[in-house]
Amino acid sequence: MKTLEEVLEKWEPVIGLEVHAELTTLKTKMFCGCELSFGDEPNTHTCPVCLGMPGALPVPNKAAIESIVLAGLATNCDIEKHSMFYRKNYVYPDMSKNFQTTQGPVAFCMRGHLELDVDAKNSGERYGVDKMSKGDVCENIVKTDNGYRAHVGITRIHMEEDAGKMIHIGGGEGRIAGATNSLVDYNRAGTPLIELVTEPDLRTPEEARLFMQKLRQIYLAIGISDCSMEKGSLRCDGNISLRKRGTTEFGTKTELKNINSFKSLHDGLYYEILRQAQALEDGEAIRQETRHWDPSAKRTIVMRVKETADDYRLFPEPDLAPFDLSDEYIENVRKKLPELPDQKAKRFEENFGLSEYDARHLIEHRETCKLFEDAIAVAKDANDEFAKGLANIIINDISGWLNADESNDLSTSPFTAKRIADLVYLSTSGRISKAQQKTVFAAILEEDKDPAVIVSEKGLEQVSDTGAIEAVVDKVLAANPDKVEQYRGGKTGLIGFFVGQCMKEMQGKGDPKLINKTLAEKLA
Ligand code: ADP
Ligand code: ZN
Ligand code: MG
């Protein structure tokens, strides 16, 4: 197969996402009073409504409606004041009603959008962006200082209910293929689910991944779901097609289903671009089908050929009255919107003088963002220098530690907000050097002690005493007369050597700024 770069010369990828989120933070199911349960004994949270017994009548969950309106407001959607539920008919054991209650052409939330900030390091998959200058506009993107910003339309967010869970026994990895028995657990049946559908505005696997990450941050911020891709409370289908660069008509798409990580979303779409390009160049037609990304085999395989919408016989749900949401209701929900990730990043930039890059990096992960805010709250003097030092330690050391091992968990770690704040303060006040900050950081993890205790136990306090530093500088210069001569003769690069020697002499505890200044004076 060709490389992505070669493919992009001739073909333009078109990507749209369908994202399902279970409203895991609610207490009860969508249309009955059954408790929402995750991981309980199978079939212990069911009733005639969620089992679809004849004559059982559904009652919509008010809190779920509020959640979807919040989601719509947080993603710049128009909230439809009049909408209703429909029946999507199908037969499968995971849905004992034989239909899923969902929404029709008009969903609670329509016509939204998100802006994606794509860093330079993630821009490589976007064709032509390297030839753009800051402020240039091309299709739905604008070039920024550090990458580009993409406008991604959201078609709709509608309300529906989850199906039960099938467990296949006897096949490989719980798959239906080769299974001898299948069990069904209806605890999940009727769980409130919202589905967001994007416009086909995405052009790279990286944009798709960033969209999902951003949406996840927003949903977490508004508190409607725990958004675990691993546990399946946040799920995503990736639709993708290719068209000849320069043409406007869409090609036939394939749909990647059951993607359970950001990496799989990216890698699966990336593979599909290469696969479809190969097929098209070989003169084959792309079939509209559902495919599955197999991360270990690193390829996609066909799951099924797509059913058409007619097969579902979507019709209005006769047991549920249409919804009328008042302006007053919508405004009351709007008042409950918390600070959203973009607003938070902007505040970090404005209040603490952080760069856009640092601010974005901090809001990417909830835990690190919380650590930043908690450390600011307990800091003696949260000035810009402190904030910058804090951002650095979180982005480099803390994130590095979190990424090093999946089991590393900030909430149970020795890195409390107070300790991190104290450590940053030790460094910004000049009591320890940058190198020693790393040593103390590692020691907090090792020894579970406060930074001040570590500094005094290890004798790490930085020497900023002018007299002591002058003595060391004199000693080093006296010991290297040849180098001093070379330096004075124009080999100024030797400054690094002198600083290094002084540091060595002081076991790394010398204040580097003061050493540099003293050396410069004495060598002049
Ligand atoms: P379907 O009827 O197959 O579900 P929809 O029109 O509802 O298709 O779109 C589903 C998702 O696929 C949306 O996110 C949409 O943006 C995207 N999509 C639609 N057509 C294409 C295409 N030709 N290529 C890529 N994505 C597409
Ligand atoms: Zn029930
Ligand atoms: Mg569809």
The pLDDT of 188-201, averaged and rounded, is: 97
Please say whether the beta carbons of 189 and 164 come within 8 A: yes
Percent above pLDDT 70 for the chain: 99
Furthest C-alpha separation in the chain: 99
Confidence label for 106 from pLDDT (cuts 50, 70 and 90): very high
CB of 13 closer than 6 A to ligand 1?
no
Most confident of 270-284, 302-316, 429-443, 499-513: 270-284
Residue nearest to atom 2 of ligand 1 (CA): 309
CA distance readout (Å), 323 to 1, 30, 66, 78, 197: 51, 15, 12, 15, 21
Q: Which of 262, 268, 196 is nearest to 21 (CA)?
A: 196
Chain centroid offset of residue 109 CA: 23
Q: How far is the CA of 311 from the centre of ligand 2 (A)?
A: 27
By the 8 A CB rule, do 203 and 269 touch? no
Ligand (nearest to CA of 288): 1
Q: Which of 421, 470, 419, 426 is nearest to 449 (CA)?
A: 419
Instruction: Give the pairing of strands 323-324 and 315-316.
Output: unpaired
- The phi, psi pair for 517, rounded to 5°, reads -65, -45
Q: Which amino acid is at 220?
A: L
Give the pLDDT score at 180.
92
Q: Region 250-277: what's the mean pLDDT?
A: 95
Sequence-ordered list of residues with C-beta below 8 angstroms from that of 240, at least 6 positions apart, any chain: 13, 14, 15, 253, 254, 255, 256, 269, 272, 273, 276
- Spatial distance between the Cα atoms of 426 and 434, rounded to a whole number of angstroms: 10
User: 20: pLDDT confidence band, cut at 50, 70 and 90?
Assistant: very high
- Residue 108 CA: distances (Å) to CA of 71, 78, 332: 10, 8, 16
Q: Which of 140, 235, 253 to mutate to test the pocket of ligand 1 (most atoms within 8 A of CB)?
A: 253
> How far apart are alpha carbons 484 and 237 in whole angstroms?
67
What pLDDT is stored for residue 146 in this prediction?
Answer: 86
pLDDT at 214 over 70: yes
Contact criterion met (CB below 8 Å) for 312 and 86: no
What is residue 310's predicted lDDT score, i.e. its pLDDT? Answer: 67
Of the listed ranges 47-51, 196-200, 377-381, the one predicted with least confidence: 377-381
Kindly report, residue by residue over 267-279, the tens digit of the pLDDT. 999 999 999 999 9
- Nearest atom in ligand 1 to the alpha carbon of residue 201 is 16
Q: 485 CA to middle of ligand 3, Å?
A: 77
Query: What pLDDT does 482 receive?
Result: 93
- Enter the tokens of residue 171: 């096949």
Q: What pLDDT was estimated at residue 307? A: 62
Q: How many helices (H) does the chain have, and how many strands (E)? A: 17, 18
Rounded distance, CA 198 to CA 229, Å?
A: 18
- Please name the residue that has the structure tokens 């990417």: 364
462 in ligand 1 pocket by Cβ < 6 Å?
no
pLDDT of residue 502: 87
Ligand nearest to the CA of 36: 2
- Which DSSP string corresponds to 69-80? HHHHHHTTPEEP
Is-contact 475 483, C-beta < 8 A? no
* Residue carrying structure tokens 């995405």: 202
Sequence-ordered list of residues with C-beta below 8 angstroms from that of 92, at least 6 positions apart, any chain:
163
Do the bridges between strand 147-161 and strand 141-144 make them parallel or antiparallel, or are there none, so unpaired?
antiparallel
DSSP H/E element including 83: strand 82-83
Ligand sitting nearest the alpha carbon of 58: 2
Find the mean pLDDT for residues 483-498. Answer: 90
Q: Crossing angle, helix 512-523 and helix 481-488, to 10 degrees?
A: 70
pLDDT value of residue 138: 94
- Over range 81-89, report the average pLDDT: 95
Task: Please name which of 366, 106, 103 lies closest in space to residue 216, comparing C-alpha atoms.
Answer: 366
Give yes or no for residue 200 CB within 6 A of ligand 1: yes
What's at 468, amino acid-wise? Answer: A
Question: What is the mean predicted confidence (pLDDT) over 270-294?
Answer: 94
**How far apart are the CA of 16 and the centre of ligand 1, in A?**
6
Ligand 1 close to Cβ of residue 122 (< 6 A) = no
Q: Does pLDDT of 87 surpass 70?
A: yes
Give me 188's structure tokens: 């999940």
